[in-house]
Amino acid sequence: MEGRESSSTGMQLTEVKKIDEDNIDHSIIRRAGEILRDGGLVAFPTETVYGLGADALQAEASRKIYAAKGRPSDNPLIVHICCMEDLKNIVTEVPETAKSLAEAFWPGPLTMILNKNEKVPYETTGGMDTVAVRMPSSKIALALIREGGGYIAAPSANTSGRPSPTLAEHVYTDMEGRIPLILDGGEVGIGIESTIVDLTEGIPLVLRPGYITLDMLSEVIGKVCIDPGLIEDDSKKRPKAPGMKYKHYAPKADMFLVEGEPKMVVKTINELAGEKTKTGKKVGIIGTKETADHYEHGIVFCIGGRQEDKVIAHNLYKILREFDKSGVDIIYSESFRNSGMGQAVMNRLLKAAGHQVIEAI
């Protein structure tokens, strides 16, 4: 089960080990933990998306993550922990808001930005004095973090810019030959990345919307704002999470979001898809339970019911990767309500589409 490195190519064997969340084979976790403690990389499932793990306290191990993903070095990593007591060892202070949020949402899909201490190398935080911390709820992830030394840096396990992986197969497509081991825990539950909240200044700021909505956060800590840099009209402001400024989650095809009243959206997509098909282009369409049967061209995926935010989030990246496999040239997607968890869905869709939006009229 070693990841042997071939000296001629720099490539290594990538092993995929199936692991059952309800009956964890600890010999696999021990082996994976050993790789992490030795400064190597292991991909593993979390409840949100698959992560690409390395020991967050070893500068050299973090560097390997950037190399394997082709990630810009100014884009900081999230440090994953497995118990609350470990938090104080990597930050200067644990504010009351962090304690309350941890109590309410950890383990779970929430990442908090806090001020880092000297234990966390700048390689892990992309040169920043703050550190992103999350305690995931996946039992496989928690066991691995514990075995790997307690502090595991883990971005989503995709090549930089591509849709995040929700299946081990997605990780294998992007990371084969680059890492020694992938733990295959099956399909993840949530399907999009954690909510990120910055607690380092004044009013808590959501830097990336996710499963934990603004309302859920407000119920626990009062006023919470969304990073103005995430709002499209506010293009003068840059997003505070360095990762949110890059084109991201993107399929290979050119993608457009079509907005408007559902009937008009279907009509517009049918017209556009018809024109493209005539010119020999292969078209992909993201439709919903309510509309999927009304599309007349291309490959149509049903992402869920229009009101089913969680189902839509769960299916989004899988569908984008299916389109990559089927080699479509252009994708038209319906757009969804921009509230609750729909805010996270629309944030990812807009980024996947590089903010190309068509009004259906």
- Per CB under 5 A, residues contacting Mg ion are 156
> CB of residue 4 vs ligand TXA: minimum separation in angstroms?
26
Q: Is 291 helix (H, G, I), strand (E, B) or coil?
A: coil
Q: How far apart are CA 242 and CA 75, in angstroms?
A: 5
46's contact among Mg ion, ligand TXA, none, with CB below 5 to 8 A by partner kind, is ligand TXA
Closer CB to ligand TXA, residue 193 or residue 324? 193
> CB of residue 37 vs ligand TXA: minimum separation in angstroms?
19
194's contact among Mg ion, ligand TXA, none, with CB below 5 to 8 A by partner kind, is ligand TXA
DSSP letter, residue 244: G
Closer CB to Mg ion, residue 26 or residue 238? 238
Q: What is the binding site for ligand TXA (CB under 6 A)?
A: 46, 48-49, 51, 75-78, 111, 113, 125, 128, 130-132, 134, 136, 154-156, 193-194, 196, 207-208, 240-244
Closer CB to ligand TXA, residue 28 or residue 49? 49
Backbone angles phi, psi at 128, to 5 degrees: -90, 155
Ordered DSSP codes for 247-289: --S--SSEEEEEES-HHHHHHHHHHHHHHHHHTT--EEEEE-T
196's contact among ligand TXA, Mg ion, none, with CB below 5 to 8 A by partner kind, is ligand TXA
Closer CB to ligand TXA, residue 46 or residue 268? 46
Q: Where are the alpha helices (DSSP H) in 178-251?
A: 214-221
> CB of residue 108 vs ligand TXA: minimum separation in angstroms?
10
Closer CB to ligand TXA, residue 47 or residue 334? 47
315's contact among Mg ion, ligand TXA, none, with CB below 5 to 8 A by partner kind, is none
> CB of residue 49 vs Mg ion: minimum separation in angstroms?
8
Instruction: Calculate the alpha carbon distances from 334 to 113, 114, 213, 248, 284 in Å.
Output: 33, 37, 22, 19, 12
Closer CB to ligand TXA, residue 230 or residue 328? 230
> CB of residue 65 vs ligand TXA: minimum separation in angstroms?
9
> CB of residue 115 vs ligand TXA: minimum separation in angstroms?
9
Which residue's beta carbon is nearest to the bound ligand TXA? 243
Side by side, the strands of the sheet bearing 283-287 are: 299-302, 283-287, 330-334, 254-259, 357-359
Q: How far apart are CA 141 and CA 148, in angstroms?
A: 10
Closer CB to ligand TXA, residue 232 or residue 361? 232
Instruction: Calculate the alpha carbon distances from 301 to 125, 207, 273, 322, 333 in Å.
Output: 38, 30, 14, 9, 10
Whether 65 and 71 have beta carbons less than 8 Å apart is answered as yes
244's contact among Mg ion, ligand TXA, none, with CB below 5 to 8 A by partner kind, is ligand TXA
291's contact among ligand TXA, Mg ion, none, with CB below 5 to 8 A by partner kind, is none
Instruction: Calculate the alpha carbon distances from 357 to 66, 179, 255, 259, 265 in Å.
Output: 31, 37, 9, 7, 12
Closer CB to ligand TXA, residue 300 or residue 344? 344
Residue 294 token pair: 């009304």
Q: How far apart are CA 96 and CA 214, in angstroms?
A: 18
> CB of residue 311 vs ligand TXA: minimum separation in angstroms?
18
